[in-house]
Structure 1
Amino acid sequence: KRNGKESVILTLIERKTRCQLLRLIEGRDADSVSYALRGIKREWGACIKTITADNGPEFTALNTAFAGTETEIFYAHPYTSCDRGTNEAHNRMIRQDFPKGMSLDDISPSQVQATQDRLNQLPRKQQGYCTPQQNFEAEARRVRRMAQ
């Protein structure tokens, strides 16, 4: 059983474009998650409108991490993975490279980045056979123009 000390992969999925952001973090605790989210916020803050998280203790500081932004935080119902269906489907794809139960302590951030890049370059039928990366970049440009 996990004690919060093993490295884990934090996954965020942009709902409209299905683009994934993956970050290797030091542990499954609120401080590690908050640290990673602050970095993501610096990079993509204006583009992140909502976050839906599960009710794990590692997500208790989400509101603090996104304070001062327009990002809305939602929490899935306990034991209801269908509230996060897209996330669960993407986690299955991530497990092709990092099987469930595998220790991530010896995995490098560049390996996680390679998985992120591979998944974001897969054309999706529901996206008109464009890639999530193409759609995300177009949406990010649109959002940044609107924010100016």
Structure 2
Amino acid sequence: MSTRPGVHTTDYRATFIQVAEDCPVSAAEVPGLRAGRATVASLQYELISEHPYELTSDDVLFTVHADRQGVTEEDRPAARVEFFARAQACLRASPLGKRHGWGIHSDEDGRVALVPLGSAQYAALAADPSLKQLRAMRSKRA
């Protein structure tokens, strides 16, 4: 998706990203650390769960990237422009929906929240015809 030439976005509006067809869990799991370090999944989970419907996909993806790369607060505005000068993988590629059982709901303004697989909210959003329905990307080829 692109907002204007040379500027890319990963934001969806009024969309529900269901878990991948080959997601290995039947209920949502909080992603853990690996070797004592935060993973992309744990960082994304923390950001979205602590700020439901406050951040866009772009905000989440860039913040995780900047945190992992050690980008200072001062350098973030320029780094964000550079980051989105190239197309980036959207939250459909996130391990949250691929492996950990989290659906991702984007509201009309593109702000995101996590929805646990197996919950009534997940079932309602997955059945909502007013939302664009997508799936997280599969981990393996069909």
Coarse TM-score class (shorter-chain normalised): under 0.3
**TM-score, L = length of structure 1:** 0.26
**TM-score, L = length of structure 2:** 0.27
User: More relative contact order in 1 or in 2 (CA 8 Å, sep 6+)?
Assistant: 2
Which structure has more helix as a fraction of its residues? 1
